[in-house]
Chain A
Amino acid sequence: MPKPDPARSPGSADTLPASERALARARAAAAAVVDPELPFLTIEELGILRGVRRAETGIVVELTPTYLGCPATLAIRLAVEAALVAAGFSEARVEMRLAPAWSTAEITAEGRRKLAAAGIAPPAAAAGAAPLFSDPRVACPRCGSERTHKLAEFGATACKAQWRCEACAEPFDYFKCI
């Protein structure tokens, strides 16, 4: 898969100053890191890459956690640092951002498409603070039917719930909306 390269706008790459090209390379390296628990999804598509900037000490990558206790956060930080070292930025560091709080609305359109393709229903658009016993309408990622129901609000990772489709009878993961 080609890595996204923000510096690739037509005819501009060669005319940019070297420092700008380096920042674009750093950004591309960070953006291509995948979530260890959703290895088909980049951190940019997941919406947790908040920015890549240059500080006096070197490149700084800003990440935000999906959930405060998500164990993947540390693995993602290390993967970003490793990716930047591999891209030649040995002095790069990662900073965590808490504000604004991450929301599933930050998953990109491409990220939602990839989730569905991997059999994980992407989050519904509604807010997460649903009242008691009320569930969103979730389409089955396999057959598209909305005749689905929640089996359990918690699943294999903090961000997923377990659902089942009544049309095709298959269980599936639903990426919870928060």
Chain B
Amino acid sequence: MTESVSESVATSGPPRVPVTVGVNGVSVSRQVEPRSVLVDFLREDLGLTGTKVSCELQVCGVCTVLVDGRPVSACTFLTADADGADVTTVEGLSDGQTLHPLQESFVDHFALQCGFCTPGFLMMSKALLDGDEVPDREAIVEHLEGNICRCTGYEPIVEAVEHVAEKLRGGPHG
């Protein structure tokens, strides 16, 4: 699927660079300022507000999205560096009909309170579970160490991810 939007190049202000990014399976072309960061591009240019910003400094993991399957902090990742890449955000996790197993598990395990950290944890966890190895508890804790949650105390988050990992282990890919 392709969406093309023709935009006149801004006549004033800083120069812009063209980018084409696959966002949750849809190709999007825009002109962005060279210093545009991915989270602003997603939230402001595309209206995808599921990705949140918190520390703005690549410390808390709240803004985590996947770029070609790799987790990045969208608060410091340049939009221009996503040119030609596939970006997955929390909005792209479910197919709109059924929840992704991680989403379901976060709901069932009460792995959120205010929910502000949730998109980042989900994307970070997806990157881990998409890997070749099915992670154990230790690997999950290590992988999620860079994500901050101020509400839950973390325990239910580990349990939620562990639960999905266990299902993977028992499932066809196990």
Do A and B assemble together?
no
Question: Which chain A residues have a beta carbon within 8 Å of chain B's beta carbons?
Answer: none
By a beta-carbon cutoff of 8 Å, the part of chain B in contact with chain A is none
